[in-house]
Amino acid sequence: MKRWAICLVLLLSAQQGLCADSASPRDHPGARWGHAFIYDAFRGEFLLFGGASGRGSYLGDTWVWDGTAWKEMEVSGPSARGFSAVTFHENRKTIILHGGRGDEGAVHSDTWEWNGTGWVQLEENGPYSADHHQMVYLPAENRILAFGGWNGEGVSGDTWFWSGDWKRSEVASPPKRASFGMAYDRSEDKIKLFGGLWINGQYADLWEWSGSAWRAVGGAYDRSSLDHHTMFYDEKLQKVILFGGKNYRYVMQGNTLAIDGGEFQVLSSEGPPARHSAGMAYDGKRQLGFLYGGKVYEGDQQIPLADLWQWDGASWKQIE
């Protein structure tokens, strides 16, 4: 039986397994997709927030994982939501979270900061409303760059900067889109942006931000189109790594790719089962990547996952 079919059986029967909670809700986050999952480089631990456990069923819980055990944080913070944008701010030594989709499809414009023990709201009603967008911290500029997303009325193609508040840039940007992947490539000092969705289609283009402008790398459809994939920078390989997502036929992808300049290389076709909307982050201290959860389909059923995988630069190993 395929693993996603096993997931469905376990979820429906509420038994222990890959997609059901492997422990009580007090010591394991359980199955979800579209959650924020990021490494806190100052405290040496991972933060997980929110996501969806079913169609339109959003979560608002906060978890910390220290590499061994999960701990649910008894704190108040952002309302229940998924598909927020999140990044670690190296200068502030905190995690910044923006926007996301909440109950009844509400698109948020608020900005929050995680300081290791609690959430602080930095902005309640900002000018930038978005979900399914991405943002990264630019160390040389000490500011955050965000792009795109769904704003509640349509797909956005704007570039935004945050240095305490949000300001929209007038710079020429990639075509409007949501559900794309984006990561900061430290070896090249560039942001890499790939794929995504717009109202009438799916992208296969690669873009780079080099400090003052966006640049298209290759033609719009030189590669296979993809959306809802995840990306991080692998410090050991000194390359941006991409995993999962789905293609234009709604087929889940399970390959691990490296983006080297403008070229894509398949590093592994084994590891986490194919999925999209997973959480993926990199631990620079241990030089290991981690992937948690995501979503698969069984007919019209959306099945959340709760497995945890470790990437060592060459292969994946399941650890939960």
* pLDDT above 70 for 281: yes
pLDDT in tens, 200-238: 889 999 999 998 999 999 877 788 999 999 999 999 999
What are the CB-based long-range contacts (under 8 Å, 24+) for 211-219? Answer: 211/138, 211/140, 211/141, 212/171, 213/171, 213/172, 214/159, 214/171, 214/172, 214/173, 214/174, 216/174, 217/261, 217/262, 218/262
Q: Which of 308, 295, 303 is nearest to 11 (CA)?
A: 303
Tally Cβ neighbours within 10 Å of residue 199.
Answer: 10
Q: Give SS3 for 11.
A: helix
Note whether 280 and 297 are within 8 A (CB): no
Output the pLDDT for position 314.
97
pLDDT tens digits for range 155-177: 999 999 999 999 999 999 999 99
In a 3-state reduction of DSSP, which class is residue 169?
coil
pLDDT given for residue 25 in this prediction: 53
Work out the pLDDT band at 301, boundaries 50, 70, 90.
confident
Domain boundaries, the chain: 3-311
Q: What is the mean pLDDT of the chain?
A: 91
Evaluate if residue 197 carries a pLDDT over 70.
yes
**Tokens 């949000």, located at residue:** 166
Q: For residue 120, what are the CA distances in angstroms to 30, 111, 168, 216?
A: 25, 9, 23, 37
Per-residue model confidence (pLDDT) at position 221 = 75
Return the pLDDT at 300: 81
At 190, is the pLDDT very low, low, confident or very high (cuts 50, 70, 90)? very high
How does DSSP classify residue 235? T
CATH superfamily for domain 3-311 = Kelch-type beta propeller (2.120.10.80)
CA dihedral angle for residue 279, residue 284, residue 286, residue 289, rounded to 10 degrees: 30
Whether 279 contacts 293, CB under 8 Å: yes
Percent of the chain with pLDDT over 90: 83
Residues 6 or more apart whose Cβ sits within 8 Å of residue 1:
none
Mean pLDDT (whole number) for 303-317: 97
- Rounded to whole angstroms, the Cα distance separating 293 from 147 reads 24
pTM of the shown model: 0.91
Q: CA-to-CA distance for 268 and 191, rounded, in angstroms?
A: 23
Confidence label for 254 from pLDDT (cuts 50, 70 and 90): very high
**Amino acid 218: pLDDT:** 85
pLDDT at 15 over 70: no
Q: pLDDT per residue over 230-243, tens digit each?
A: 999 999 999 999 99
Q: What is the dihedral of CA 264, 270, 276, 278, to 10 degrees?
A: -100
Give CA–CA dist 130/110, Å, rounded: 10
Q: Which pLDDT does position 299 carry in this prediction?
A: 83
Residue 37 banded pLDDT, cuts 50, 70, 90: very high
In whole angstroms, what is the distance from residue 247 CA to residue 242 CA? 14
User: Each residue of 55-108: pLDDT tens digit?
Assistant: 889 999 999 999 999 999 999 999 999 999 999 999 999 999 999 999 989 999
Q: Is the pLDDT of residue 13 over 80?
A: no
